[in-house]
A and B are shown apart, each in its own frame.
Chain A
Amino acid sequence: MIKPILYAGLPLLMTLGGAAAFADTIKIGVPVPLSGPYASAGVDVLNAAKLAAADINASGGVLGKQIEILGEDDACDAQQGVQAAQKLVDAGVAAVAGGYCSGAALPELTALHRAGIPYILDASTNPKLTQLGFNNVFRTIGRDDQQGPFAAAFMANYLKAKKVAVIDDNTVYSKGLADNTVAGLKKLGIDVVYYDAVTPGQMDYSAVLSHVASLGPDVIDYTGYFAEAGLMAKEAAALHLAPKLMGGDATDDPTLIKTAGMAANGWMATCAPLPQFLTGAKDFVTNFTKAYNTAPGPYSVYEYDAVEIAAKTIKSAGSTDPATLIAALHKVTDYPGLTGNITFNSVGDRAVASYITVIVKDEAWAPYVKQTPAGQWVPVQ
Chain B
Amino acid sequence: MSEFIQLVVAGLTTGSFYALVALGYTMVYGIVRLINFAHGDIFMVGAFIGWTVLTAVAASHMPWGIGLLLALILAMLLTGGIGVVIERFAYQPLLSAPPLSILITALGVSIALENGVLLIFGAGFNTYPHLIGSEGFMLGGAHITNIQVGIIVLSFLLMGGLYLFVHHTFIGTAMRALAVDRDAARLMGINVERVIQITFFLGSSLAAVAGVMEGLYYTEINFFMGFVVGLRAFTAAVLGGIGNIPGAMAGGLLIGLLEAFSAGYISSRWTDVIVFLVLIGTLVIKPTGLFGERVVERM
A and B touch in the complex (CB under 8 A): yes
Bound complex: CA of A39 vs CA of B119, how far in Å? Answer: 11
With A40-B122, A202-B228 as contacts: A261 and B263 at CB distance below 8 Å? no
Verify B130–A261 contact, CB threshold 8 A: yes
The one of B145, B218, B223 in contact with A203, judged by C-beta atoms closer than 8 angstroms, is: B218
Which chain A residues lie closer than 8 Å to B115 at the CB level? Answer: 35
The one of B121, B122, B219, B272 in contact with A199, judged by C-beta atoms closer than 8 angstroms, is: B272
B290 smallest CB distance to A (angstroms): 23
Residues of chain A having any CB pair with chain B under 8 Å: 1-3, 5-6, 35, 37-40, 43, 170, 196-199, 201-208, 210-211, 214, 227, 230-231, 234, 237-240, 255, 258-263
Verify B220–A231 contact, CB threshold 8 A: yes
Interface string of B118-131 (1 = CB under 8 A from A): 11011111110010
Bound complex: CA of A189 vs CA of B267, how far in Å? Answer: 25
With A227-B220, A258-B219 as contacts: A204 and B14 at CB distance below 8 Å? yes
Q: Name 8 interchain pairs, CB-CB below 8 A, sorted by A.
A: A3-B121, A5-B122, A37-B123, A204-B10, A210-B142, A240-B143, A255-B127, A258-B219
Verify B3–A255 contact, CB threshold 8 A: no
With A207-B11, A261-B130 as contacts: A255 and B124 at CB distance below 8 Å? yes
Bound complex: CA of A100 vs CA of B126, how far in Å? Answer: 22
With an 8 A cutoff between CB atoms, is B92 at the interface?
no
Which chain A residues lie closer than 8 Å to B218 at the CB level? Answer: 203-204, 231, 234, 259
Q: Count of chain B residues with Cβ under 8 Å from any Cβ of A?
A: 45
B124 smallest CB distance to A (angstroms): 3
Which chain A residues lie closer than 8 Å to B268 at the CB level? Answer: 196-199, 202, 205, 207-208
Q: A198-B263, A198-B269, A204-B14 are in contact. List 8 more A-B contacts (CB 8 A).
A: A197-B269, A205-B263, A207-B259, A207-B261, A207-B268, A208-B264, A239-B143, A263-B134
Which chain A residues lie closer than 8 Å to B214 at the CB level? Answer: 203
Closest 4 pairs (CB-CB, A-B): A2-B124, A2-B122, A40-B123, A3-B122
The one of B3, B125, B227 in contact with A211, judged by C-beta atoms closer than 8 angstroms, is: B3
A226 smallest CB distance to B (angstroms): 8
**Which chain B residue shows the least CB distance to A240?**
B143
**Which chain A residue shows the least CB distance to B5?**
A210
Give the secondary structure class of B's interface.
helix
Which chain A residues lie closer than 8 Å to B145 at the CB level? Answer: 238
**Which chain A residue shows the least CB distance to B125?**
A255
Bound complex: CA of A20 vs CA of B6, how far in Å? Answer: 59
Bound complex: CA of A48 vs CA of B225, how far in Å? Answer: 28
Verify A211–B122 contact, CB threshold 8 A: no
Which chain A residues lie closer than 8 Å to B260 at the CB level? Answer: 204, 206-207
B232 smallest CB distance to A (angstroms): 9
Verify B14–A208 contact, CB threshold 8 A: no
Verify B125–A204 contact, CB threshold 8 A: no
Bound complex: CA of A6 vs CA of B142, how far in Å? Answer: 44
With A1-B124, A238-B145, A258-B220 as contacts: A206 and B6 at CB distance below 8 Å? yes
Verify B3–A210 contact, CB threshold 8 A: yes
B119 smallest CB distance to A (angstroms): 7
Verify B127–A259 contact, CB threshold 8 A: yes
Which chain B residues lie closer than 8 Å to A35 at the CB level? Answer: 115
A221 smallest CB distance to B (angstroms): 16
A172 smallest CB distance to B (angstroms): 15
Bound complex: CA of A261 vs CA of B130, how far in Å? Answer: 7
Bound complex: CA of A202 vs CA of B224, how far in Å? Answer: 11
Which chain A residues lie closer than 8 Å to B267 at the CB level? Answer: 196-197
A230 smallest CB distance to B (angstroms): 6
Which chain B residues lie closer than 8 Å to A210 at the CB level? Answer: 3, 6-7, 10, 142, 264
A81 smallest CB distance to B (angstroms): 18
Which chain A residues lie closer than 8 Å to B143 at the CB level? Answer: 238-240
Verify A203–B228 contact, CB threshold 8 A: yes
**Which chain A residue shows the least CB distance to B214?**
A203
Verify B130–A211 contact, CB threshold 8 A: no
Verify B220–A230 contact, CB threshold 8 A: yes
Verify B122–A258 contact, CB threshold 8 A: no
**Which B33-60 residues have C-beta < 8 A from chain A?**
none
Verify A259–B220 contact, CB threshold 8 A: yes
Which chain A residues lie closer than 8 Å to B124 at the CB level? Answer: 1-3, 40, 255
Bound complex: CA of A262 vs CA of B214, how far in Å? Answer: 19
Which chain B residues lie closer than 8 Å to A1 at the CB level? Answer: 122, 124
A270 smallest CB distance to B (angstroms): 22
Bound complex: CA of A170 vs CA of B11, how far in Å? Answer: 22
Bound complex: CA of A39 vs CA of B224, how far in Å? Answer: 12
Which chain B residues lie closer than 8 Å to A206 at the CB level? Answer: 6, 10, 260
With an 8 A cutoff between CB atoms, is B105 at the interface?
no
With A37-B224, A203-B214 as contacts: A170 and B269 at CB distance below 8 Å? yes
Interface string of B65-83 (1 = CB under 8 A from A): 0000000000000000000
Which chain A residues lie closer than 8 Å to B11 at the CB level? Answer: 207
Bound complex: CA of A199 vs CA of B268, how far in Å? Answer: 6
With an 8 A cutoff between CB atoms, is B136 at the interface?
yes
Which chain A residues lie closer than 8 Å to B220 at the CB level? Answer: 227, 230-231, 255, 258-259
Verify B272–A201 contact, CB threshold 8 A: no
Bound complex: CA of A239 vs CA of B260, how far in Å? Answer: 15
Which chain B residues lie closer than 8 Å to A203 at the CB level? Answer: 14, 214, 218, 225, 228-229
**Which chain A residue shows the least CB distance to B219?**
A259
Verify B219–A261 contact, CB threshold 8 A: yes
Which chain B residues lie closer than 8 Å to A263 at the CB level? Answer: 134
The one of B223, B259, B261 in contact with A202, judged by C-beta atoms closer than 8 angstroms, is: B259
**Which chain A residue shows the least CB distance to B261?**
A207
Interface centre among B218, B229, B272 (most CB of A within 10 A): B218
With an 8 A cutoff between CB atoms, is B244 at the interface?
no
Bound complex: CA of A197 vs CA of B271, how far in Å? Answer: 11
With an 8 A cutoff between CB atoms, is B13 at the interface?
yes
